[in-house]
Amino acid sequence: MSAIYFLIETLFNLFLMVVLLRFWMQWAQVDFYNPVSQAVVKATSFAVNPLRKVIPGFAGMDIASLVLAFIVASAKVSVLMLIFGGYWDAAKAAIDGLLTLLGEAFTLVFWILVIRALLSWVVQGYNPAAAVFEQLTEPLLRPVRKVIPPLGGLDLSIMVVVLGMMFLQHLVMDFMR
């Protein structure tokens, strides 16, 4: 049964991360003509576009993608609850769905920052994937660079943002207990 649990959790989490990535890409105003951006849009359009007809954007944010992310997170919790718990509780599914959404958002930001750091060591010149990671993370890193500028070619801003994000994640989880 743990293999089935792993499979369900992984499939839901992967789709949830792609939906969150779409929201983040629009918020960060990433180039949507980039092949990586196009892949994310194509992977989520079947679910986001119908929601957009009902849920408009607000202040430049794609609220339909955020609502879809919450629906996916709550559906994940509901499916796991039904299969492994034998019951379904709507309130618990909604609350745990919100916590799942927050947890996956922190995880996504962490991995995007790590991948950007790794790509900065390897990629020379222009690379479409590296460009997307740079556009996604720059709004998070720019304020830190104003306080801690790069030291002799060593940019500590990614490490500072990762540590701050991990602190926030622990703070949120402590608050929820």
- How far is it, in rounded angstroms, from Cα 36 to Cα 51? 23
- How far is it, in rounded angstroms, from Cα 70 to Cα 16? 9
Q: How confident is the model at residue 152 (pLDDT cuts 50, 70, 90)?
A: confident
Predicted pLDDT of residue 177: 59
Q: Is 168 left (phi over 0), alpha (psi -120 to 50) or beta?
A: alpha
Q: What is the pLDDT of residues 75-96, one digit of tens each?
A: 999 999 999 888 889 999 999 9
Could you give the angle at which helices 90-122 and 2-27 cross, rounded to 10 degrees? 70
Higher local confidence (pLDDT), 41 or 150: 41
- How far is it, in rounded angstroms, from Cα 147 to Cα 160? 11
For 117, other C-beta atoms within 10 Å of its C-beta total 15
* Residue 35 reports pLDDT greater than 80: yes
Cβ 126 vs Cβ 42: under 8 Å: no
* Residue 175 reports pLDDT greater than 80: no
AA identity, residue 4 = I
Q: What is the pLDDT of residues 98-141, one digit of tens each?
A: 989 998 999 999 999 999 988 888 888 888 889 999 999 999 99
Cβ 18 vs Cβ 44: under 8 Å: yes
Q: What's the token pair of residue 81?
A: 């609850």
